[in-house]
Structure 1
Amino acid sequence: MSERIREVPITRRTTTTYVAGRATIRVRVPKGWARGLVAGVEAAFAGWAITTVTTMIVYLSLRSNTWMSDTLPRDALALGGDLWVATLGGTSVAGGVSYRVIPTLFGALLILLVRLLLRTTTGFPRSSALFAVPGFLLTAWFLAGTSGVHSQWWTGTVGAVLIPLIGSGWFVVSSYSRDSEAPSMQHWISGGFKMGGLVSLVTVVAAAAAAVVALVAGWGRASGIQELLGASSLVDTMFIVGAQALFAPTAMAWAAAWWSGAGFMTATDSLHSPTVVDAGPIPPIPLLGTVPETAPGSWVVLVPVALGIACGVASARVYRRSHLLHQSAQGVLASVVFVSIVALWMWSATMSMGSVRLAFMGPLVGRSTLYLFVEIALPAMLVPLVTHPTTLALVGQSAGRVRSEGEALRRRHAERLSREAATASLIEGDEAWAERGDDAGSADATEVGEPWAESAEAVQPDKPRAAWRNRAAWAESVKAAKRRVRRQKRVAWAEPADKDDEGDTDDPEAKGTKGEGLN
């Protein structure tokens, strides 16, 4: 017997285990980051080169003067490094005294230079432009530490960050606003930056006009200080004027702080504002000869207020948003941009040119920023909101509701007056009727006197009319009293006839007459 062996296939059972993927965060450097980094490095080298070359040119032009006989080219090169640190907002120490003077015009030119150099990053992600900040910062540190003598290179860190940051931020915002297919939220964001920039630009232009007016008014004093400096040649004069031209934004900031009402300090004990003038000596700088010597009054602050209203009217036409919420958010963002620019502007206009009295000069940063915000930015934000179609519609609905409620109140008041007039006429008619009844029944006045007196007492309540809170209840009580009087009078007129009938029963003649009649 043969046995058959059956082959059974063996299958392998496989199981698949699904493992949940872990969330990973990948940090990637955006494309074009090297272009942004190089733009920052180029801007820093260009700024340092401009200050150094300018210093060397001035040195070569003035080295023939006797007071520069001990100055060497190496000293001029070191002065260029110190000026580079001063441009970044750093301090220099000489003779144990700290000096901090920022040539704000050169700093503004550096911001513009960063903005122009970042055009090489066009077509790459916007974040690549931000790499200009570390490139500029590291290069500025290196140049300040290797070329400056009296400067403290680390004190220029704030400016070395702000200059490329503002330039790159300007570039990012400008490219951000060119996106035509952006959602509505992006439109109010770009509109907020544009509106804030517009209001800031108008403020700067108005401050420049005010500074020019002050320069024209104080030209005589500025020329006198210029002569005291002893400029012996045209080159000396050009050097003095050019050095002061680098502080043009500083003079404009001082003018803006003055007409805002906050004022500025020419020394720690000398405040100048529209309402205060503290007389005191000023440093031998011709530009300070334009400082106002009189206080015209607080009416000067009406100028920035009018400027803010004008900016609001222009913004309401140019940067109008269909949604009221977007309009409000755009105004808030514009105010933030304005405050940031003005605060940085006012800070850059402060300086320290020595010790004691000259330890602080310039505008009061916090107060000036607050005053300019209230006088210019706030009206510029509120006018578009007040004139918005949605706001006008809501105001119209509220006005219609108030008008309807007022008409309802007037109608109820007229109805109350008419009820009171009707009540008064009814009372007068009852009194006239009572007087006619008294004339008709004058023969029976003696018999009716007592009831009428009682009714008269009933008509007059114990309390005066003024004590009645409800005039309607008082009128009803008067009507009820009058009705009682009429009933009592009718009863009084009917009583004599009844008494005559009763008297006939006691008269003998009457009895006889009645008896005859009966017979």
Structure 2
Amino acid sequence: MPRTATRRVLSDERRPAFFDSAVDGAPRWATGALTALQAVTLSLAALALPAVAAFVATSADPSNADVGWTRAVVVAAGLWLLGHGVPLDVGGATVTVVPLGVTALALWTAWSSSRRSGVPSRSGTAGAVGTYALLTVLVGLVAGAGGAQLLRALAGGLVVGAVGLGAGLLRRPGAPTPDALLAPVRARVGPDVLAGARAGALAAAALVAAGAVLTTVWVVAGRATVGDVVDGLGLDAVGGAVLAVAELAVLPNLVLWCVAWLAGPGFAVGAGTVFSPAEVVAGPLPAIPLLGALPSPHVAGGLLLVAPALLPAVGALAGLALRRVPAPGRARGVWLRLMALGATSGLLVGALVGAASGSAGPGRMAEVGATAWLVGLLAGAGCTLGALVVAVPTDPFVRAAVRARLRPGAAGPGAAPTGPAAAGPAPVSPAGPTAAGSV
């Protein structure tokens, strides 16, 4: 083999996978666009198939004689857009509650598509995220959205596409590590703020996990009521499957409502209703089996009033995780970490609860969910308190700073000596002791 050919083969073998395209000969941005198209198609199909199946099952009803199958696809598209934060108009009422199960489906399809065939480069990422956002706007046009709804579709597509596709691209061979991506952020905000933000994200995830456990307890405890609602609906196999998909779409919302319950303020399912550890004021509810798991009026007060104590407990766990990160070397770094922990956990919990709340229909159902800012504020404050109890007493630099405040003459780790010791040894005359004595 000629020497030039040998060099060419070796250079191709050494070229990292970062520069390889999933589609031979295609530009990286085009490969990213195809990845986004695949993700949108999969998530839309997962919603359109049950809708079309429901249409076929009810097509023999004379009242549906003038309804075409495309109407089922438009309904599925509207639900898909609602999962991206685009309000849905239903019978003159505006639905703003985001079915987070649909959002999770879109994130998963985006993640799996980019992990399988994405290109972890700037052009590939831009092509994927940009195409996902444009396809979201296109779906909005098909569904009859306009004006502000299209802007919401663009923003929702950018957020969901960036999170889902970006997370999948980080799993591709040759992709940069998370530490390399966060290096510019660390350089700007400092390692202490970044460490606190990571601990705050861990605390928010722990609170969501606690909400999932509480949701499971409620569903198991209220399984008899849930069964009665299912029997009262009299659904066939297709109707049951469609109802199951619809309940999976709103199940994460119930989990976040449970987080609001654990925080103390609770949530509402209809105007005038309250579900909190202190009181339960129930009212007429839609015939949705999942709502049969909500606590009854007698499940309030007593030991349940200590439920908000879970927030400092979660914060303490986050504080322990924060202690595993190398010490900042100064008391100010500890306070920066704690503030970043509280702000991150509060913002994440508040944003999730806000997405899970809003209007779910006309009349009383215009008020569903919890007050996002209040739940986020309590979550951030509780987590900060728990981390404060764990991190501050065990940090030597904080103890030294507090000791210095209480006793100005006390020295601690890293503190400069004070008093005569700080001045050092007394100077010696060049003439020595003999000269001094002769004087």
Query: If the length of structure 2 is used for normalisation, what is the TM-score?
Result: 0.72
Q: Which one-letter code corresponds to 2:342 in the other structure?
A: S
Q: Does 1:247 align with 2:250?
A: yes
Question: Residue by residue, what CA displacement relative to the aligned partner does 1:341-387 show, whole Å, maximum 9, x if unpaired?
Answer: 21221122114232221112111111111111122254236633442
**Alignment partners' CA distance in 1, 2:240 and 2:391:** 49
In the alignment, which residue of structure 2 is the partner of 1:78?
Answer: 74
Secondary structure of the 2:245 match is helix
Question: Residue by residue, what CA displacement relative to the aligned partner does 1:87-106 show, whole Å, maximum 9, x if unpaired?
Answer: 22222324322233422122
Q: Which one-letter code corresponds to 2:261 in the other structure?
A: W
Secondary structure of the 1:246 match is helix
In the alignment, which residue of structure 1 is the partner of 2:287?
Answer: 284
1:106 to 102, 108, 132: 102
Superposed counterparts of 1:186-201, under 5 Å: 187-188=191-192, 191-201=195-205
In the alignment, which residue of structure 2 is the partner of 1:211?
Answer: 215
Superposed counterparts of 1:441-456, under 5 Å: none
Q: Does 1:179 align with 2:175?
A: no
1:369 to 363, 372, 376: 376
Question: Residue by residue, what CA displacement relative to the aligned partner does 1:232-288 show, whole Å, maximum 9, x if unpaired?
Answer: x34433332232012121010111101211111111211221113223211111111
**Alignment partners' CA distance in 1, 2:368 and 2:38:** 33
In the alignment, which residue of structure 1 is the partner of 2:131?
Answer: 135
In the alignment, which residue of structure 2 is the partner of 1:453?
Answer: none
In the alignment, which residue of structure 2 is the partner of 1:494?
Answer: none
Q: Does 1:308 align with 2:305?
A: no
**Which stretch shifts more, 220-229 or 210-219?**
220-229
Change (3 A) 1:249 1:199: same
Superposed counterparts of 1:55-454, under 5 Å: 55-60=51-56, 63=59, 71-119=67-115, 124-125=121-122, 129=125, 132-147=128-143, 153-154=149-150, 155-167=152-164, 175=176, 177-179=178-180, 185=187, 187-188=191-192, 191-231=195-235, 233-293=236-296, 294-297=299-302, 298-317=305-324, 320-380=327-387, 383-396=390-403
Q: Which one-letter code corresponds to 1:295 in the other structure?
A: A
Change (3 A) 1:40 1:191: farther
Q: Which one-letter code corresponds to 1:82 in the other structure?
A: G
Change (3 A) 1:181 1:79: closer
In the alignment, which residue of structure 2 is the partner of 1:439?
Answer: none
Are the equivalent residues in 2 in contact too, given 1:332–1:381 (CA < 8 A)?
no
**Alignment partners' CA distance in 1, 2:314 and 2:54:** 41
Offset at residue 122 of structure 1 (A): 6.0
Change (3 A) 1:369 1:269: same
2:42 to 8, 22, 46: 46
**Alignment partners' CA distance in 2, 1:330 and 1:173:** 26
Are the equivalent residues in 1 in contact too, given 2:343–2:380 (CA < 8 A)?
no
Secondary structure of the 2:324 match is helix
**Alignment partners' CA distance in 2, 1:295 and 1:272:** 9
Aligned residues: 372
**Alignment partners' CA distance in 2, 1:84 and 1:234:** 23
**Alignment partners' CA distance in 2, 1:315 and 1:169:** 26
Q: Which one-letter code corresponds to 1:209 in the other structure?
A: V
Change (3 A) 1:252 1:389: same
Secondary structure of the 1:282 match is coil
Are the equivalent residues in 1 in contact too, given 2:222–2:294 (CA < 8 A)?
yes
Unpaired segments of 5 or more residues in structure 2? Answer: 1-26, 412-439
Unpaired segments of 5 or more residues in structure 1? Answer: 1-30, 405-519
**Alignment partners' CA distance in 2, 1:112 and 1:215:** 25
**Which stretch shifts more, 170-179 or 137-146?**
170-179
Secondary structure of the 2:157 match is helix
**Alignment partners' CA distance in 2, 1:269 and 1:392:** 49
**Alignment partners' CA distance in 2, 1:52 and 1:151:** 25
Query: If the length of structure 1 is used for normalisation, what is the TM-score?
Result: 0.62
**Which stretch shifts more, 48-57 or 281-290?**
48-57
Offset at residue 114 of structure 1 (A): 3.3
Offset at residue 319 of structure 1 (A): 6.6
Question: Residue by residue, what CA displacement relative to the aligned partner does 1:91-145 show, whole Å, maximum 9, x if unpaired?
Answer: 23243222334221220232244345455666535x9635544322211111221
Identity of aligned residues (%): 23
Are the equivalent residues in 1 in contact too, given 2:312–2:387 (CA < 8 A)?
no
Change (3 A) 1:300 1:234: same
In the alignment, which residue of structure 2 is the partner of 1:498?
Answer: none
**Alignment partners' CA distance in 2, 1:311 and 1:60:** 51
**Alignment partners' CA distance in 2, 1:371 and 1:172:** 35
Secondary structure of the 1:102 match is coil
Are the equivalent residues in 2 in contact too, given 1:82–1:151 (CA < 8 A)?
no
Relative CO higher for 1 or 2, CA cutoff 8 Å, sep ≥ 6?
Answer: 2
**Alignment partners' CA distance in 2, 1:109 and 1:181:** 27
**Alignment partners' CA distance in 2, 1:280 and 1:325:** 50
**Alignment partners' CA distance in 1, 2:147 and 2:245:** 22
Are the equivalent residues in 2 in contact too, given 1:254–1:263 (CA < 8 A)?
yes
Larger radius of gyration: 1
Change (3 A) 1:69 1:149: farther
Offset at residue 207 of structure 1 (A): 0.6
